[in-house]
Amino acid sequence: MLNSWKLKEIVLMSLFAVVFGIVYLLFVHVGNIWAGFIGPIAYEWIFGIWFIVSIICMYIIRKPGAAVVSETIAAAIEVLLGNAVGPRLILSGLIQGLGAEAVFAATRYKRFDLWVLMLAGVGSSVFSFVYGYFLGGFAVYSPGYVALMLGIRILSGAMIAGLGGKALSDGLLATGSLRGYAISRSKKGEVRA
């Protein structure tokens, strides 16, 4: 998968994964504080932050594997930094990355417009929610509450990961720091990798 990647693409993806592994761990604490006030649904509002590295890396690098590999590395970094969930979190990162990767794969890695990025955030939301439903014991909640949780997570994935990931990447592109990456050579969703 990574054999067609340039070294600078691997380095950039790894750098983003480390940075967002730290951000992810910080947001666990934000979620914990907020959950103390409104309950477990608090995490759903910010869940999109935990998908953002997959969107950013795929949007910039535009090669198969960028979403799933970056998300999995970020989860591993978060575990190494001391997330209490432990190694099981790496599987969560893999599943979240697969959700985003599936959307990009459906476009054959040729479309990177806002709607596709937002759908990738939705893909991560759905994949992670199904996994979380069984692992997190969501079955104890009423069906209406579970549906509300899913709806909020989907909105968070689309807005925070999709829209937010695009905004952050476009901001970096505007600085000129992404020259030489696929994002700088593309026009209106057309990739020239």
Phi first, then psi: what are they for 190, rounded to 5°? -85, 130
Q: What is the dihedral of CA 101, 73, 24, 173, to 10 degrees?
A: -60
Provide the pLDDT for residue 1.
Answer: 65
Task: Please check the confidence at residue 135 and state whether its pLDDT lies above 90.
Answer: no
Which tens digits make up the pLDDT trace of 82-105?
888 889 999 999 999 999 999 999
**Cβ 150 vs Cβ 114: under 8 Å:** no
Query: CA geometry: angle at 173 spanning 175 and 9, to 5°?
Result: 115
Provide the pLDDT for residue 190.
Answer: 46
Average pLDDT over residues 150-172: 98
Instruction: With H, G, I as helix, E, B as strand and everything else as coil, classify residue 68.
Output: helix
Tokens of 111: 């479309």
Average pLDDT over residues 91-120: 97
- What pTM did the predictor assign? 0.92
**Third-level CATH fold of 2-185:** Arp2/3 complex 21 kDa subunit ARPC3 (1.10.1760)
C-alpha–C-alpha distance, residues 9 and 172, integer Å: 15
Task: Please check the confidence at residue 192 and state whether its pLDDT lies above 50.
Answer: no
C-alpha–C-alpha distance, residues 121 and 58, integer Å: 12
